[in-house]
Amino acid sequence: MNQTREGIQEKSVELAWRNRLHPAINKSKFSNEEIAQLHIFRNEYQKSWVDIARALSSGEMRRTPLQCLTAYQKAEFEAPSFPHSRIEKLKLAKLLPSDENVSKAPMKAKILEFFKGMGSSLKI
């Protein structure tokens, strides 16, 4: 192997150890308390996931920045949505693409699925 490839391989091994394999990394599912703390720390530290992970970690067990970011995004996606008024539903429905454009916009597809589940509540 040439020097560059060895350097890249060493860096990959180091990152894997630091972010996934180290025995001090807490690999358990995030608790509800940790999720709540993630939201607090997210507001306090903005998007500094290194600082958020450091603040969330306790004792010998720690969370990685990637674990914190992933758990935060999952919690945000799975959070129950607030009930929309009929007017808000209509305004949101107007923003949605037609069915033929959905394949080009994965997030809009998820929104469409949400509204399809609401049935006739979108009709005027």
Name residue 68's amino acid.
C
**Gap between the Cα atoms of 13 and 73, Å rounded:** 26
Residue closest to 120 by CA, chosen among 98, 93, 100: 93
pTM: 0.56
For the chain, what are the domain ranges? 25-78, 86-122
Residue closest to 40 by CA, chosen among 56, 54, 28: 56
- Residue-by-residue pLDDT tens, the chain, 124 positions: 445 667 778 888 988 888 888 888 999 999 989 998 998 999 899 889 999 999 988 777 899 999 999 999 988 877 665 566 666 666 666 666 555 555 555 666 666 666 665 554 444 3
**Gap between the Cα atoms of 35 and 20, Å rounded:** 20
Looking at residue 54, its pLDDT comes to 92
The CATH class of 25-78 is mainly alpha
